[in-house]
Every structure is written in structure tokens, then in C-alpha cells.
Amino acid sequence: MKKINFTEIAGFQSGQATDTENGTGVTIILSPAGATAGVDVRGGGPATRETDLLDPKNMVQKINAVTLSGGSAFGLEASSGVMQYCREKGYGFGLKEFVVPIVCQASLFDLGCGSSLAYPTREMGYQACLDSENNHVKSGNYGAGTGASVGKALGFDKAMKTGQGTCAFEIDNLQVGAIVAVNACGDVFEPNSTNRLAGIYDPATNSEINTEEAILALASSAINSTSENTTIACIITNADLDQAQMTKLAGMAQDALARTIRPVHTPNDGDTVFTMTSNQVKAPLDVVALMVIRALENAIIDAVVSAQDAYGLPCSNTVLANRQK
């Protein structure tokens, strides 16, 4: 496989709006021509929009955008701005006299970072669409990853800063890419490895604590901060797959979360993966899925290692430097 830029995949345009001061943001993945799509929701506490529409038995077979945002359920407002942009451009489900843009969304909980009253607004959703005209997304503390963090099981004061990440691959003409905002309850590891990159960190003692072990040790007491989570992602590809296959692909992509985040898919996470395709290249689903899993694994790592210290939280690079002292 050859590594490429996420934005090299034709038929899509991506951008973001970032509110650094308040610790929240929104990322948009647009398909002007419409994309066959699927979704898989594994977390027990999702904040989502239009996911039922992606059931293959339902009428609409193509969507125009996926919105990833902070703000928990409040952040779902951002898609109203995406709807406005798409309507102005004429993107949507065509009816006799007008179009209805099909915009799906998942939001993560970032209200613990920056201002607890701030969330991505309609205006930020529209601004992210304008930014997508440049088709450029940033890794780290940007877009949906602006207020993302991990390691909150023992309280926000022991969390670490994460963010947004991307990765894409191609084999011949087949391309796949992943964009993700990592805001998990669990620790983040390199795939299939014990090398931990982020999780619970006690700055007072410069010690790192395994989240799974911490949860088990405190099983008899409430751990309120485990509710401030959710990892959300979108996969884009040019593989020629139908909606049922794209739904299956979204489910298979969740393997990437299981290989890098521990624990994952908890009752208090809203882990959601969308898939979108431009249907340009014939390819076996198994091959596409393997590429997608690799891309999403690497995007998760990118989201962690590209993050910077913010909102009183250290990033992975800072903790690594402290570990080596």
C-alpha cells in the first residue's frame, strides 16, 4: 500500500472550523455528487443525526455530507449550517422544485475542555463547509478534535489531550482514507501493542495509570468522568460498493478502535464510524476493509501524537518527554 493524503481521494472535500478559545470545533466531509454511505454505532451514548437513514432498507441511498463535531448533543446544531451550504450549492436529494441535502452527523463530548457552555453552532458548520472548498484538514487540536481528550476515568485533572487525525492509502486505483476525532474513555495504544500513547496521567507523580485496571479497582464506586467520551470517524473511498456493503464496512472499521483503544465501545462512549464512497473502482469488500482498518488505526495514532498541550492537559509528546526524564 502507498500512503497518500486524505484529501487526495477524488469526489470529496473536507474542512474544519475551530474555536480554540472555547475548546470545540467541527469537521465536515462533503460529497457534492452524493456518496453511497453506511454507519456503525457501537458506543452506548451516541449523539447522532440521520443514522437511521443509512439503513439499506430505507429510501435514500446517497448522502451529501458527514459532520463530525464537539459539543455533545448541542453540537448537532452544526449540521444546520451544512444543510444551508449544500442547499445554496444545489447538493441534495432532488425533488420537483427543490433539493433536500442529506447530512449525517456524530458529536463527541468536549464540554470539559475550554468553556462548558460552548459548542459548534450553525455558523461554524457553514464556515467548515466554506473551508472545505480549500480541501485541507489539519491534524491535532483542530475541528472536531479541538476539545478531545482521553484518560478521564479518575477525573479530568488526570486526562490527556488528544485531537483529530487522518490517514489514507491506495493500491493501484483503489483509495481509502480515514479521519477521526479521538475522545475515548480508554487508553490509546499502538495497534496490537502494549505501547501506550495516551490515557490516565497523574502530573503530580508523573505516573501513567492503566484505565482498564483503574476501572476494575474502583468497581464498587462511581466513576463519573467516564461519561465524557466518544470517538467519531468517517471513512472515504472510491470503491464501488452498495449501501449494504458500506454498512458492513463501517462495522469492520470498528476493529481499528478495538485494536488501539482499551476499553472501547463502553456504555458511556458514543463511538460512531461513517463510511462514504464515490463508487468509482471495482474492489473486493475484504480488501477495502483491510485497507480501511489500517487507515483508521493510523488516523487514531495521528490524532494522539499530533495533539498539543491545551486546557491544562498534557499531550502524548509531553508525557513521553516526562517519562524519559
Helices (H), the chain: 78-89, 122-132, 211-217, 243-260, 285-305, 316-323
- Give the three-state DSSP class for 92: coil
Look at residues 232, 218, 220, 323 and name the one whose alpha carbon lies nearest to residue 274. Answer: 232
**Grid coordinates given for 90:** 444545489
**Grid coordinates given for 309:** 498541550
End-to-end CA distance of the chain: 37
CB 324 within 8 A of CB 212: no
pLDDT digits (tens, 9 = 90+) for 202-249: 888 888 988 888 888 876 555 554 556 789 999 999 999 999 999 999
pLDDT digits (tens, 9 = 90+) for 263-297: 888 887 889 999 999 999 999 999 999 999 999 99
pLDDT digits (tens, 9 = 90+) for 90-125: 999 877 778 899 999 999 999 988 899 999 999 999
Domain span including residue 16: 2-323
The CATH number of residue 214's host domain is 3.60.70.12
Q: Report the alpha-carbon distance of residue 136 to residue 269 in Å, rounded.
A: 28
- What's the burial of 256, exposed, middle or buried (CB within 10 Å: 0-12/13-18/19+)? buried
Q: Which residues contact 53 (CB under 8 A, 6 or more apart)?
A: 60, 63, 102, 104
Q: What is the domain count for the chain?
A: 1
Q: Is the pTM of this model over 0.85?
A: yes
